[in-house]
Chains A and B, each alone.
Chain A
Amino acid sequence: MTAIAERFTGPLATPKRVGVAGVLLGIAAFWIALPPVHERSLVVPALLAAVGVAAGIYAAAKGSVRAGWGAIVIGALGVALAYLATRSSVDNLQIVFTWSSLIAAMFVFATPLVYGSLGGIFSERSGVVNIGIEGMMLMGAFWGIWGADVTGSWITGVLIGMAAGALMGLIHAFLSIQLRADQIIGGVAINLLALGITGYAFVQIYGDENISAGVSEIPRLNLSFLDSVPPDSLGNFLYGAFGRLSVMIWIGFVLVVVTHFVLFKTPIGLRLRACGEHPRAADTVGISVYGVRYAAVTLSGALAAAGGAFLSVGVISSFNENMTGGRGFIALAAVIFGNWRPFGAFGAACLFGFSAALAFRLGNAYSGSVPGLDVVAQTLPYVITLIVVAGVIGKSIPPAAVGKPYTKQ
């Protein structure tokens, strides 16, 4: 409580706040060069960015290194991107930066990552490294659409997909908890196995054809009241961004809040985190470390699979071999970037989703004039994660006992 009180009674311009303001100015420098503002001269963005960088230097010198350097880097990036934007044609900018649909696309790209990273958080917080998120997601993608196809309902489809993912989670749990196998090896095995199983079953069941059209899809939640929010432009924006999102995207939002609450506000969460931080201590006070870890890893498989099912049942209504294409690993990166916290991982997933959505649009708009721009944007999640694990932007600290098999005494 005192910490919160200090936050409000302390001086207004703490170094950290100056740094954050610098970061915002750097973003603003880029933003005003984009639709709908369309600043076509570089003077204003350069001024904004210069103030941002100055704020960053001040913050870094006063001891808030992270925010300060963030402001310096983002200020420099902001002015560079603004320069590119002023050089680019207004038409192309409008294709790429239609904010409402860009945000809606961001949520579509981010949602599989959100589910996957929540799964990763449960597993890793309980002390089990889960490299197999990718494979569990792929299982969810195939068995989800298969279930929706066979039962004719997307709900049972997603549930069947989640069950398949949970089964993989159970195998991983057995290997890493009971057999104390290397958890990385177990995860690699899960990924290879899932690739083989889904590919085999897909060819066996569907042959050369794909899943027939008309499979039950995950419905969108139509919030038409958003459209009538005044003023008109805001209403249009809100409706475009949030008005037609899939039900599973909204469930994802809810799950982030629920996961945060369960992990940090309930006894169950405390027990789970204890198993990941100091299993011996947890065992001493009567917590079943094995039981908690089994539950967490199985749950993690089900959650990751739900993300995969969203991809197949919710987005493209069909299946391709290896269709998750590394999203499980990006989800894992989101876990690390988000410092093993649900809201942090959600933010990271949105950032990665945004860069994926942007890459997609950049590819459409600039494929002729600037080859490779879309590809550069595709690598963004991976580069950011490398920088994060290298500790350049703040250190992320994993649970103390993660990856270490526990032996009962």
Chain B
Amino acid sequence: MSTGEPLLRVENLKVDFPGEDGVVHAVDGVSYEVQPGRTLGIVGESGSGKTVSSLTTLGLTRLQGAQISGRIMFEGRDLVSLKDEQLREIRGNDIAMIFQDPLSALHPLYRVGDQLVQAVRAHRDVPKKAARARAIDLLGLVGIPDPTKRVDQYPHEFSGGMRQRAMIAMALVNDPKLLIADEPTTALDVTVQAQILALMERLQRELGMAILIITHDLGVVAEMADEIAVMYAGRIVEMTSAERLFSNPEHPYTWGLLRSIPTMEGYTWGLMKAMATEGPPARQDLVPIPGTPPSLINPPSGCHFHPRCPYSQPEHTRVDPMLEALPDEPGHQVACLLESEQRRALWAQLRAGETPAEAIAAVNLPIQAETPEAGEAGTPQPQTPEAPL
């Protein structure tokens, strides 16, 4: 991690949603930094709190009655304690956001150009004509052909990829310093996904903004991110540089994520590229992570991942691991109760193509007999929706 003053610094952020069944601890003490002009990727399953933490940055969870604590420092101001109106001035201006489904994220009854004009005029006192010219410029910048004609069309006249481009254009009209991209490619065709990611990379190079990209797809962050934070059950369990995360992952959940992506040639080539230094794991089979994401109302005791972790020890059900830097790698933080040497030995086995059970035996880990199997791991708990959005 670089050492300059970060653009965004999230400190011990907690977001709770009081509900009828209990309090949903959507984000449970998360800290991360985004440096100017850099890209942080947040990776996790549905319900890991990755979207909620970014929506909270923009104050968009306030309306849903979220209880927020911690600090979100942006350019010397704490966004958590700002008034609604001050936060509104930052939204879409200094910090912009694009969303998962461009199909539903644009208002169906307004022309695309008008929606961009609204974004400009929400923050700048410029005449409609100038705002429209800006909208046309931006539509051209994001690669929409014939922007002077497209600006007067409605979203339903755009294809999915074009709509996401229009969303990106709308996010960029006010030259944001930080762009939050929440699963920007998930709803798109694979070929279009690559185009959108390439577009975002180009725009970042040209405009110099920082990007916070949220995804469940390691392939996406492999291509885009400088740093990666892996979230599980509302917490960050591992955070390090992108290269290091793919070459030396230390958290069993990260291992699970890496082993559960298809590594066929041609697919997730960015990931392959990232792994090229040491080569991909030998085993080509997809290995799912057993069990389901835990309830965020009653999270498991101790390490939240222990019900699904093949390597958990008896005391892991009681002790809650802290996110700590590795002694020899200050830029690499892991929240795992295993010793760093044990973890490295285990990953070496897994990388060589061994199963977790084989790896445990090889590493001589004192372990409970049965390994959790898919479907029966963890106590059956109601699935928690990602967030009441």
Q: Do chains A and B stick together as partners?
A: no
Chain B interfacial positions (CB closer than 8 Å to A): none
